[in-house]
Chains A and B, each alone.
Chain A
């Protein structure tokens, strides 16, 4: 199975900050990586697919980069609505695997 290692597990930030979350795969997954945002009591919402493509209607302050084994999610100018938990996921092969999650909280 492909292991996904996400860091940090918690990130304290202020409105307007630029934040970066990293995700590393245990083997190459090409660009088959998605990023999700999840808020308490809600299902995940896809932000980025194929490592760097913005899902429709997702604000442009979200961006993704990387390929192979190393990936990043960047939020440029954190907004109040962005305080949530973020997950990466590889869909290169089954079993799908997710990172452990990064909780972005208010500093």
Chain B
């Protein structure tokens, strides 16, 4: 059974930093593209970042402040978040799947339960 478990969310002051983790199990982690998607309180879903073995993508709203990475030996996806702003307050979800390869595009087929990030003084 595919499972994604996020952690690392916390209350942090504006300008602060946080690192989120997502531990994957139930499949071969290294062979899948991974993403972060967030949801602000009472709002819809917003894509944040995606990592494959050949490319990394960021939303304009986080580019230059957030860094996505992965450790395939630990089956873990990370999101390093720096220079945090109030508008980064959200539940952050990791998801499996994505990207287009040889004309075929893949969707995020499994999602975690999310971890709460609150940016406030």
Q: Is the interface of A mostly helix, strand, loop or mixed?
A: loop
Contact yes or no, A43 B108, CB < 8 A: no
Q: Within 8 Å of chain B (Cβ to Cβ): is A24?
A: no
Q: How far is the CB of A85 from chain B (nearest CB, A)?
A: 9
Q: How far is the CA of A92 from the CA of B100 in the complex (A)?
A: 7
Q: Within 8 Å of chain A (Cβ to Cβ): is B27?
A: no
Given A91-B106, A96-B98, A44 contacting B93 (CB threshold 8 A): yes
Number of A-B contacts (CB under 8 A): 62
Contact yes or no, B60 A91, CB < 8 A: no
Contact yes or no, A44 B47, CB < 8 A: no
Complex partner residue of A49 from B37, B60, B107, CB under 8 angstroms: B107
Residues of A whose CB lies within 8 Å of any CB of B are: 32, 34, 36, 38, 42-46, 49-50, 55, 87, 89, 91-101
